[in-house]
Amino acid sequence: MANPFQLNAPGLAHDPHWYRKAVFYEVLVRGFADANGDGSGDFSGLIDKLDYLQWLGVDCLWLPPFFKSPLRDGGYDIADYYNVLDEFGTISDFKRLVAEAHARGVRVIIDLPLNHTSDKHHWFEESRNDPDGPYGDFYVWSDTDEKYEDARIIFVDTEESNWTFDPVRRQFFWHRFFSHQPDLNFENPKVIEALFDVVKFWLDQGIDGFRADAIPYLFEEEGTNSENLPQTHAFLKDLRTMVDENYPGRIIVAEANQLPEEVVEYFGDAEGPECHMCFHFPIMPKLFYALRDQKAGPIIDTMAETPNIPAGAQWGTFLRNHDELTLEMVTNEEREAMLGWYAPDSRMRANVGIRRRLSPLLDNSRAEVELIHALLLSLPGSPFLYYGDEIGMGDNIWLEDRDASRTPMQWNPDRNAGFSTADPGKLYLPVVQSLVYHYNHVNVEAQLASSSSLLHWMRQMLAVRRTHPAFGLGSYRNVPTEAESVLAFIREVEVDNAEGEQPEVVLCVFNLSQHPVAAQLNLPEYAGRGLRDLFGGTPFPAFGDDGALTLTLGSHDFYWLRLRSASSNTASPHTEALPIIQAPEAVK
Ligand SMILES: OC[C@H]1O[C@H](O[C@H]2O[C@H](CO)[C@@H](O)[C@H](O)[C@H]2O)[C@H](O)[C@@H](O)[C@@H]1O
Ligand SMILES: [Ca+2]
């Protein structure tokens, strides 16, 4: 069959700030495509699907850990930083993946858990067996489990303490996550050296950057909560210096599940930059909260509390990922409300969060799935999508822990959803066969054949976003309205085009309510200016002479509107050109 996704192979454009406009896509190698039919996804399978990802409009892949691991924490328990899981392929397969992605203009970042290893890592084996040997001080050992008592337990479902007694060394070792994941001792310069070597090794394989997993927990200090310590920031400044000096254009993305004022510290400052990007953990749950509360307030407040970031930095925004939908960044009242709304069955909960995929969270409401994506794609930050959400994949809460939302990608209605030719019982996890999300009807092939599908809608959204630099690079300004269900904001950036520097101003308006609403916006600086819809180019009524504009929005409706040029209020070919969205051959 002809490949319906094949486009040209543009290669990578030179752009040191690529990540500030990029759309990222988190893809589990294990879960995407199984090329050799052994029941597990692999690098070759992912390579086969790169045309699809390019067609969708993805700019950069994020690959969660694929290193040698006993897989007791989805690969975040690394046994060997320098080797990959046998079932995924070889390092040369990985390099081929990077090269093939780059040929299609798609970058690749990987996940690097530096805070801890698996207890099967040889560093730990040697540390526990030979306290005076070269690895004796690689982990945090203690004769007592009463140190650092102000550090909270993160995996509250499974862990009772951050210390575990090791019967071999007859001491306790420190771990912020599972008890089979000992924390490395960052006070030991040899550990830092070893980890810098790991980072260099992977950057030498051609990756475009890495996600620094669980970064707030590197150091411990008595009398503190052992999170976000100054020593951690000093380590990150050194790491950034090494990356900038040796690998310009490659990025570090901080995974710091912390309050806005704490997360922002992970960007560093002009004198001492740290990470190029930080995930914006606080805004994510507020989007879900606002949707059920049907009020824009929580989003407006969180954006107001979000500090400015240094030039050249960017937020990473997301709706879902391989973890539970974490509720660490909301108040106790908000958390209780969200658990009631989104996790009525206790099986849907994990640690301080909810282990469900996006579509089931939103009761398979297409309008809500569209609305929350429209928010994600237009609020400040570079969006990180999660594989399968572009087709509204479901989950399986009967699986353990976060595996609920790590099931195989659904490609077609064939055996194993087209993910693998293996005997179904051999798959790493079963494909989703629930009534509503069964792979018979929720799959890429079916959605490709339907021009009104979520998949085509997503592709168009990414295409429109790409055409308007205001979304990636623009400033953000809230526009107050009386209607409490309406969120309105302006994204604005100076763009250089044939007519010289011109501001691109995009007005985004969302109705978070299930009921229609009319909202008046007052922007006197735009008095008399017209607007155009970004999708079809339809002219909208102009702002009045006093700068007032009344918009009506249907249930869960939204607009992305571009302010027309000040001089004429008429379309100019350069500033108002609309993106041409082409349907693939298969649906023409
Ligand atoms: O390796 C341990 C974990 O590291 C990341 O953890 C983060 O996920 C937690 C939720 O599962 C979250 O509560 C915590 O704040 C994060 O640091 C990684 O993403 C996990 O998959 C992994 O288990
Ligand atoms: Ca395989």
For the stretch 102-160, pLDDT in tens is: 999 999 999 999 999 999 999 999 999 999 999 999 999 999 999 999 999 999 999 99
User: Percent of the chain at pLDDT above 70?
Assistant: 96
User: Percent of the chain at pLDDT above 90?
Assistant: 93
Q: What is the pLDDT of residue 491?
A: 98
Strands 24-26 and 382-386: parallel
CA nearest ligand 1 atom 11, residue: 323
CA nearest ligand 1 atom 6, residue: 214
**Residue 177 CB less than 6 A away from ligand 1:** yes
d(Cα 327, Cα 558) in Å, to the nearest integer? 26
The yes-or-no verdict on residue 467 having pLDDT over 70 is: yes
d(Cα 326, Cα 282) in Å, to the nearest integer? 10
Tell which residue, 512, 507, 510, 552, has the closest CA to residue 526: 507
Q: What is the pLDDT of residue 569?
A: 56
| pLDDT tens, residue by residue, 527-581 | 999 999 999 999 999 999 999 999 999 999 999 999 998 765 544 433 444 444 4
Q: Are 121 and 78 in contact (CB under 8 A)?
A: yes
CA nearest ligand 1 atom 15, residue: 257
Tokens of 184: 């490395």
Residue 587 banded pLDDT, cuts 50, 70, 90: very low
CA of 343 to the centre of ligand 1 (A): 20
d(Cα 426, Cα 507) in Å, to the nearest integer? 50
Angle between helix 283-293 and 332-342 (nearest 10):
60
Tokens of 270: 């002009």
CA nearest ligand 1 atom 4, residue: 214
Q: What is the pLDDT of residue 13?
A: 87
501 strand-pairing partners: 496
**Residue 265 CB less than 6 A away from ligand 1:** no
Among all bound ligands, the one having the nearest atom to the CA of 111 is: 1
CA of 288 to the centre of ligand 2 (A): 35
d(Cα 58, Cα 27) in Å, to the nearest integer? 11
Q: What is the pLDDT of residue 103?
A: 97
Strands (E), 250-361: 251-254, 277-279, 314-318, 325-326, 349-350, 353-354
Q: What is the pLDDT of residue 7?
A: 80
**Residue 214 CB less than 6 A away from ligand 1:** yes
Q: Are 184 and 195 in contact (CB under 8 A)?
A: yes
Q: What is the pLDDT of residue 567?
A: 67
CA of 387 to the centre of ligand 2 (A): 18
Tallying the residues shown for the chain, one arrives at: 588
| pLDDT tens, residue by residue, 407-419 | 999 999 999 999 9
DSSP state of 247: S
Instruction: Answer yes or no: 93 catalytic.
Output: no
**Residue 326 CB less than 6 A away from ligand 1:** yes
**Residue 225 CB less than 6 A away from ligand 1:** no
In 427-521, where does DSSP find H-type helix?
Answer: 444-448, 454-467, 469-473
CA nearest ligand 1 atom 16, residue: 214
| pLDDT tens, residue by residue, 308-317 | 999 999 999 9
Instruction: Answer yes or no: 245 catalytic.
Output: no
**Residue 154 CB less than 6 A away from ligand 1:** yes
Q: What is the DSSP string of 145-181?
A: S-SSTTSPPS-TTT-S-SEEEETTTTEEEE-SS-TTS
Query: Helix, strand, coil shares of the chain as percentages rounded to 5?
Result: 30, 20, 50
Query: From the DSSP assignment, how many helices (H) and strands (E) are in the chain?
Result: 16, 24
**In the block, residue with structure tokens 């798959």:** 427
Among all bound ligands, the one having the nearest atom to the CA of 76 is: 1
| pLDDT tens, residue by residue, 42-64 | 999 999 999 999 999 999 999 99
CA 120, 126, 129: angle at the middle one, nearest 5? 105
**In the block, residue with structure tokens 């995929």:** 357
3-state secondary structure 549-586: EEEEECCCCEEEEEECCCCCCCCCCCCCCCCCCCCCHH
CA of 208 to the centre of ligand 1 (A): 22
d(Cα 338, Cα 344) in Å, to the nearest integer? 9
Residue 416 burial by Cβ neighbours in a 10 Å radius (0-12, 13-18, 19+): buried
Tell which residue, 444, 320, 327, has the closest CA to residue 384: 320
CA of 32 to the centre of ligand 2 (A): 10
**Residue 257 CB less than 6 A away from ligand 1:** yes
Per-chain mean pLDDT for the chain: 95
Strands 382-386 and 314-318: parallel
